[in-house]
């Protein structure tokens, strides 16, 4: 393919070095991290490559207009905003870069859990307000607890690795993967996780199977009271069902980096019942979908995308 036809549109915030490297291998890059869906659809026919995050939907309305498109790269892990089967049927190669931010997600999940267990956020705020409470902030240790990891792909496996130094027993389930159990990682089915887990962490993609996966039935299946972590996708959780489980004591605390509706801070959500109930709880830790978003992961994602692109010969 001659260089005059190798044009890529980058529709999301990405490391500058990635853009430089694209240009170095012959691409003409149009960097528009704030482009709208409609504006992109109006110009997509001119491009052979497209980089997206969650901001753009790569579905029929866009794909039908992408007459020259050869590939779509997802900056990050989730592919739910890309109709890969339709794209593939038109010989458009779709790929993502979970290797770039898996460590960041794992560290964040651990950080949220430690913040919850040791009352770090609450105690910090109390100290800033001149309040000194030691006994009330007596914490929980991870040592010896059973962690149930659901989804043992890039981020699930990375999280399990972080837990090794805490002497946590990891019970991991993945519907589409097997043969990964070893040492402190016990490969098992969901039923085993329901029986033994003290903490649950979701690392699953969003699709038809996983929509509202963590619901009333899910929480009722656990033999023990549990702590819950979600750094995957907001819509794999039914938030109202989590709130009920928190009310009943079935769930003792939760760490949420992702939400059913994002961003959270809209006027509608500020007055939404589940939002108000979440922020009112001291046993819930909330962050704005930043688990995979570090300075390091930004560079890594660009590097992984470029490696995969070149490997395919584009």
Residues 182-198 pLDDT 10s:
899 999 999 999 999 99
User: CATH 3.40.50.720: which residues of the chain?
Assistant: 3-97+295-311, 102-286
Tell me the average pLDDT across 7-13. Answer: 97
The pTM (predicted TM-score) of the whole model is: 0.93
Q: How far is Cα 290 from Cα 257, in angstroms, rounded to an integer?
A: 7
Percent of the chain with pLDDT over 70: 96
Alpha helices, DSSP H, located in 73-119: 84-89, 102-117
Tell me the average pLDDT across 248-257. Answer: 98
What distance separates the 2 farthest-apart alpha carbons in the chain? 69
Average pLDDT of the chain is 95
The four Cα atoms 208, 213, 37, 153 give a dihedral, to 10 degrees, of -90
210-222 burial, b at 16+ Cβ within 10 Å, e below that, comes to beebbbeebbeeb
Whole-number pLDDT of residue 3: 43
Would you place residue 273 in the very low, low, confident or very high pLDDT band (cuts 50, 70, 90)? confident
Give the HSE-up count for residue 107: Cα atoms under 13 Å, Cβ half-sphere: 10
Q: How far is Cα 104 from Cα 291, in angstroms, rounded to an integer?
A: 6
Closest CA to 289 of 116, 30, 112, 122: 112
* Cα end-to-end distance, the chain, whole Å: 8
Percent of the chain with pLDDT over 90: 91
291: phi then psi, degrees, rounded to nearest 5: -55, -45
Q: How far is Cα 28 from Cα 117, in angstroms, rounded to an integer?
A: 49
Q: How far is Cα 307 from Cα 87, in angstroms, rounded to an integer?
A: 21
Whole-number pLDDT of residue 38: 97
Residues with Cβ < 8 Å from 75, sequence gap 6 or more? Answer: 12, 14, 51, 52, 53, 97, 100, 301, 302, 305
Neighbours of 45 (CB within 10 A): 12
Q: Residue for token digits 């149930």? A: 148
Question: For 71-119, what is each residue's pLDDT tens digit?
Answer: 999 999 989 999 999 999 999 999 999 999 999 999 999 999 999 999 9
Closest CA to 54 of 107, 106, 101, 104: 101
Question: What is the CATH architecture assignment of 3-97+295-311?
Answer: 3-Layer(aba) Sandwich (3.40)
Whole-number pLDDT of residue 4: 46
Say which DSSP state 238 is in. -
What region does 313 belong to: left with phi over 0, alpha with psi -120 to 50, or beta? left
The answer to whether the beta carbons of residues 234 and 261 sit under 8 Å apart is: yes
Tell me the average pLDDT across 163-182. Answer: 95
Q: Residue for token digits 């016990």? A: 186
The answer to whether the beta carbons of residues 140 and 120 sit under 8 Å apart is: no
Could you tell me the two tokens for 120? 């770090």
CATH fold, domain 102-286, is: Rossmann fold (3.40.50)
Closest CA to 60 of 34, 90, 31, 93: 90
Whether the link from the prior residue into 302 is cis, omega within 30° of 0, is no
Whole-number pLDDT of residue 261: 87
Q: Residue for token digits 């029929």? A: 60
Could you tell me the two tokens for 251? 């769930």
């Amino acid at each position: 393919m001659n260089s005059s036809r190798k044009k890529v549109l980058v529709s999301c915030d990405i490391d500058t070095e990635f853009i430089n490297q694209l240009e170095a291998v012959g691409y003409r890059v149009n960097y528009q991290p704030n482009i709208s869906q409609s504006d992109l659809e109006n110009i997509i026919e001119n491009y052979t490559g497209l980089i997206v995050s969650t901001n753009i939907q790569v579905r029929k309305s866009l794909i039908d207009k992408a007459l020259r498109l050869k590939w779509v790269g997802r900056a990050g892990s989730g592919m739910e905003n890309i109709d890969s089967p339709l794209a593939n049927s038109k010989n458009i190669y779709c790929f993502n870069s979970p290797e770039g931010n898996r460590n960041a997600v794992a560290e964040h999940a651990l950080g949220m859990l430690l913040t919850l267990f040791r009352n770090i956020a609450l105690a910090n705020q109390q100290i800033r307000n001149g309040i000194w409470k030691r006994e009330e902030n007596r914490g929980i240790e991870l040592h010896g607890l059973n962690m149930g990891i659901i989804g043992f792909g890039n981020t699930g496996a990375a999280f399990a690795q972080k837990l090794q130094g805490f002497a946590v027993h990891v019970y991991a389930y993945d519907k589409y993967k097997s043969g990964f159990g070893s040492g402190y990682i016990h490969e098992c089915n969901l039923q085993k996780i329901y029986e033994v887990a003290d903490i649950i962490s979701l690392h699953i993609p969003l699709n038809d199977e996983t929509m509202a996966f963590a619901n009333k039935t899910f929480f009722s299946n656990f033999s023990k009271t549990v702590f819950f972590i979600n750094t995957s996708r907001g819509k794999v959780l039914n938030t109202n069902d989590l709130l009920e489980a928190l009310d009943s004591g079935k769930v003792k605390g939760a760490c949420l980096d992702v939400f059913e509706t994002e961003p959270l801070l809209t006027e509608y959500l500020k007055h939404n019942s589940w939002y108000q109930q979440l922020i009112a709880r001291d046993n819930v830790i909330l962050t704005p979908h930043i688990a995979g978003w570090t300075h390091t992961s930004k560079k890594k994602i660009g590097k992984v995308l470029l490696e995969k692109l070149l490997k395919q010969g584009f």
